[in-house]
């Protein structure tokens, strides 16, 4: 009886997840297709990443910056391995866009892109939220933290819009990113307290913390303009 009830609850969650995903996936247009493809791009956020590194170098020593970046790389490796290599293959949940999934009949995709076979949890969500949570722990600056959160949320929504992830894939990836970021930051705090205390110090210029915020906003605005006349796949 307990097993039957558990399976019933699980099926209800899956049904609810499918409904929410279809609802979030609707409303496509050429403009938003272009914009969401840009947002989801692998290299489009490089200026944002570089602005974070620049901010760190302006406020902290190269040694402390290098150590923090090493921890971020370690986190990304953990995120990628736990998400893509372990959980995703073990669960084996088809992407909503996969043609073998009945849900694909109700999903809108962009430029024929369907992603890989399995999508639970979302690697984009795990990596982006993992990085965001870790940097929020490290810097503890309100507006910078908000920027990291909104950046991750936009990136994750683009994956649902493109039809390659369920809402549940995103939520699972977010939770996994939070857990991994918390573990890595705990190790950072325990074994490198001098470095973590330096990053939490208030004896640094707040002006430099504005740079990643401004760069992120600028990138989004540029993509909003470019989406009017640029197709990321087919060009202008």
- Are the CB atoms for 119 and 164 separated by under 8 Å? yes
pLDDT tier for residue 200 given thresholds of 50, 70 and 90: confident
Q: What is the pLDDT of residues 39-93, one digit of tens each?
A: 999 899 999 999 999 999 998 989 999 999 999 999 999 999 999 888 998 999 9
- Compute and round to an integer the Cα radius of gyration of the chain: 19
Q: What is the pLDDT of residues 107-152, one digit of tens each?
A: 999 999 999 899 999 999 999 999 999 999 999 899 999 999 999 9
pLDDT tier for residue 2 given thresholds of 50, 70 and 90: low
* Closest to 21 (Cα-Cα) out of 131, 121, 164: 164
Q: Assign domain 2-226 to its CATH architecture.
A: Up-down Bundle (1.20)
Compute the average pLDDT of residues 178-207.
Answer: 86
- Are the CB atoms for 148 and 114 separated by under 8 Å? no
Q: What is the pLDDT of residues 157-183, one digit of tens each?
A: 999 999 999 999 999 999 999 999 999
Provide CB contacts within 8 A for 36, sequence distance 6+.
Answer: 110, 157, 158, 161, 162
Six-digit token string for 181: 């970021």
Cα angle 90, 92, 93; round to 5: 135
Contacts 24+ apart (CB under 8 A), 60-66: 60/198, 60/199, 60/204, 61/198, 64/195, 64/198, 64/199
Cα 220 to chain centroid distance, Å, stands at 15
User: Residue 190 half-sphere exposure, CB side, CA atoms within 13 Å?
Assistant: 6
DSSP, res 104: G
Q: Which residue has the higher pLDDT, 194 or 76?
A: 76
């Amino acid at each position: 009886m307990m097993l039957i009830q558990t399976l019933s609850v699980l099926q209800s969650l899956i049904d609810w997840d499918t409904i929410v995903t279809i609802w979030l996936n609707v409303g496509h247009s050429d403009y938003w297709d272009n914009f969401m493809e840009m947002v989801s791009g692998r290299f489009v956020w490089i200026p944002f990443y570089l602005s974070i590194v620049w901010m760190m170098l302006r406020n902290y020593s190269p040694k402390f910056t290098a150590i923090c970046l090493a921890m971020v790389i370690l986190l990304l490796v953990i995120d990628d391995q736990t998400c893509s290599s372990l959980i995703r293959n073990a669960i084996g949940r088809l992407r909503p866009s996969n043609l073998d999934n009945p849900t694909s009949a109700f999903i809108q995709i962009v430029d024929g892109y369907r992603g890989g076979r399995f999508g639970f949890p979302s690697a984009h969500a795990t990596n982006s939220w993992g990085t965001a949570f870790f940097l929020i722990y490290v810097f503890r600056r309100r507006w910078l933290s908000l920027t990291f959160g909104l950046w991750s949320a936009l990136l994750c929504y683009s994956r649902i819009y493109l039809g390659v992830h369920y809402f549940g894939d995103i939520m699972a990836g977010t939770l996994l990113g939070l857990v991994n970021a918390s573990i890595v930051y705990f190790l950072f705090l325990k074994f490198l307290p001098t470095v973590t205390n330096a990053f939490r110090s208030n004896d640094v210029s707040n002006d430099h913390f504005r740079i990643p915020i401004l760069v992120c906003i600028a990138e989004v605005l540029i993509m909003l303009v470019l989406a009017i006349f640029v197709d990321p796949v087919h060009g202008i």
